[in-house]
Chains A and B, each alone.
Chain A
Amino acid sequence: MAEEAKTQEEKPQDKRPLVSRVPVKDKEMLDLLLADRGVTYYEEMKKFPVDTEAFKKTLDASCKSRIRTWLKICAHCGMCADTCFFYLANDRDPKQVPSYKIQSTLGEIVKRNGDVDTDFMINCMDTAWGKCTCCNRCGMYCPHGIDMGVMFGYTRGLCFSQGFVPHEMKIGSGMHWIFNAQMDVTVEDYVETCEWMVEENEEYYPGLTIPVDKVGADIMYVVNAREPKHYPQDLAVAAILFHLAGESWTVPSKGWEGTSLAMFAGDWACCKQQVENVYAAMERLKVKRYVGTECGHQHRATITEGPYWAGRKSGDPPVPGLHYVEWVLEALETGKLKLDPAKKIKEPCTLQDPCNYVRNHGLTDVTRKIMSYIAEDFREMSPNREHNFCCGGGGGMNGIGRYRKERNIGLKVKRDQILATGTKFVVSACHNCWDAIRDLEEVYKIGIKWSFLKPILLEMVIVPDHLKPKEEEEGANE
């Protein structure tokens, strides 16, 4: 008896449910989820009920004219089929046709006004995250402009509100709630990393600084949490290039992170608070412009979609926002950065167009102009520009263990695109694409190399005489 009482007492603490309809906002819960690695989480999910009443309310409040019209007028023509790389990679599986995917999930939810069950919701989750990267390619090809990418983004939000969200995505939005970053990097950690990177490199680049919270700088530079966490060298190279270009720049302490896993998780409230942090930093530091690192969804979250989350009437962020590639091109064209033409990449190389700033923000020519500065033999993928296929890892897919198999199948399309160019070197100015291409090499072993722009630029940049170290000039790259 006594024992039983004891276990009962301990229950609520021990068995804090992992699946829930609310976001993770405390460290303890976050740690529980991290420790679980998804095992119990997905088991619990199988028994987690749908709150149909709440679901109806969410639908009433959020499912507006645009989405309802799209769902209603879809002519079931199937024209969108081969626009989706998942469809192509899965041997033209009819179950991968965008309009089928959306009609069988969101379409049903709307039709049944939220009266669906657990199995249905798990299938929705597996479709919204495991069969779509929200690359928005299908919408471009639908005669009616029906955008399944946008609708899956919305479906993700509905799934999230009911607790049916992949383990890593739940954690991702939790990280944003707790750390204002997609990883557990605090403001102090970040500032320390900045200081550390200066220490490591100032010997080779005298006068190198990473100015934190400098009010009135021209540029506020914002990163992806992976950089301070796993690739601090990226931050160092960014600093070196700004330094060599003679830019007046700064990084914010609070508001330093530009990405938003919350966007991929479908946690709308979290998207808002995340981007507001970055906007607050822009305003606090009174900078002229924002430059975000080589990350596609950072740009989408902060510059393209962020203004709407934050409810900004203008539809623009408080200051103009540039993707890193825009800054690079400007620096090259104005001569702030000078590259040694002798060091241009000699071997044939190709370029990955990340949907998040190409199809979704039109930066098509920018990267091509940069390629003309850095590569002797640049070859286009086909299709390219706004027609390019997703790398295969977007929309959070790279990070979700549950869909690893699906992701690897999806990578085939990009693999074949790269192979068709006949090149062995892929330039990719997007973290996600970079990861996907790395993984595709790991899975399919086609013998390619891949790189961000920063290391390439560092390799080629001419250090002005007055910025050279006293003794001898020597590159500081690894």
Chain B
Amino acid sequence: MYEFLSGPMVWIAFIIFIAGSLYRIIYMLQGAKKDKIVFPHMSFKHSVASLIHWMIPFNSRYMRQRPIFTIISFAFHICLVFTPIFLLAHIVLFDESWNISWWHIPDEVADWMAIVVIAGGIFYLLRRLTDPVVNNVTDASDYLLLTITVLPFITGFIAYHQWFDNRTMIILHMIAGEIMLIAIPFTRLSHMLFFVFTRAYYGSESGYIRRSKDW
């Protein structure tokens, strides 16, 4: 079990993640080519401007209007993406198999980052349950996706602290992580892949066609 999950299954998950993502992006771009509107509306300058403006916290009017949500969202997303990539324990695995390694976050910091993701997940969950607005646009898949997203961090956190049976925890952590990788291209989590594109499109449409800023 352990061998399979830490060996072939990692391969499978990564291949599905990468191939699936490429497929989704290429398919989307192919489709966009057929859409008379999309490419004629694109402008490099406005795409970049929009992306930069939306990646700076508190830069858009909307972010300033809801400071708490903005802080939590930025913290959640940053920790979500960077913790797994720069975690020493992950890099060591790559180093063992392929002899490649890169800079890593100190473990104590990574620990806190995992807590941020978990706390963010709880915040989102409560928000979905209690805010009538969000509740109304929520369906079962939202809870499922939230679980898929946060589970690798919960299991990873427990495994790092060696609570419960460590081997079982690591197995659960690997399963959770692999599920998440596979889910990204095929679910609404794909907003991670498409963010750059949709932002670029909207920025272009605003700046180039509508001559307005979009932040």
Contacts and interface: CB of A to CB of B under 8 A. Distances in A.
Contact of B35 (A65, A92, A383): A65
A362 interface: yes
A360 interface: yes
B132 A76 contact: no
A362 B214 contact: no
A235 interface: no
A400 interface: no
Given A69-B198, A147-B202, A78 B133 contact: yes
Interface residues of A, number: 46
Interface stretch (B13-21, B80-88, B171-179, B204-212): B204-212
Contacts of B213: 386
Contacts of A359: 210, 212
Interface of B: 28-32, 34-38, 40-41, 50, 54, 60-62, 69, 131-139, 142, 188, 190-191, 194-195, 197-199, 201-203, 205-206, 209-215
Nearest to B187: A72
B203 A94 contact: no
Interface in A368-391: 383, 386-387
B136 A95 contact: yes
Interface in A6-53: none
Contact of B194 (A69, A99, A361): A69
A78 B131 CA distance: 9
A304 interface: yes
What are the 7 A-B residue pairs with the smallest beta carbon separation, nearest first? A145-B202, A362-B211, A65-B31, A94-B136, A64-B35, A78-B134, A73-B191
Contacts of A69: 28, 31, 194, 197-198
Contact of A75 (B29, B60, B188): B188
B142 A76 contact: yes
Contact of A64 (B34, B135, B202, B215): B34
A77 B134 contact: yes
Contacts of A76: 134, 137-139, 142, 188
A97 interface: yes
B54 A72 contact: no
- Chain B contact residues: over half helix, strand or loop, or mixed? helix
Interface stretch (A136-144, A190-198, A200-208, A454-462): A136-144
Contacts of A140: 206, 212, 214-215
A188 B206 CA distance: 39
Given A145-B199, A308-B37, 10 more contacts: A65-B32, A68-B31, A83-B62, A92-B132, A97-B133, A140-B206, A143-B54, A145-B214, A147-B202, A315-B40
A100 B198 contact: no
Given A77-B134, A94-B135, A66 B201 contact: yes
Contacts of A99: 137
A74 interface: yes
Given A66-B32, A78-B131, A100-B137, A304 B199 contact: no
A420 interface: no
Q: Which of B31, B137, B188 counts the most A-chain CB atoms under 10 A from its CB?
A: B137
A179 interface: no
B142 A79 contact: no
A100 B188 contact: no
A361 B35 CA distance: 22
B97 to A, nearest CB: 33
Contacts of A364: 212
A383 B203 CA distance: 21
B191 A308 contact: no
A311 B206 CA distance: 20
Contacts of B34: 64-65
B40 A360 contact: no
Contact of A304 (B138, B197, B209): B209
A81 to B, nearest CB: 5
Interface string A95-107: 1010110010000
Contacts of B32: 64-66
Contact of A72 (B35, B188, B205): B188
A103 B190 contact: no
Contact of A70 (B60, B139, B198, B210): B198
Contacts of A94: 132-133, 135-137
A240 interface: no
Contacts of A73: 188, 190-191, 194, 198
Given A65-B35, A140-B214, A315-B40, A145 B191 contact: no
A356 to B, nearest CB: 10
B190 A72 contact: yes
A144 B195 contact: yes
A64 B35 CA distance: 6
Contacts of B28: 65, 69
A273 to B, nearest CB: 17
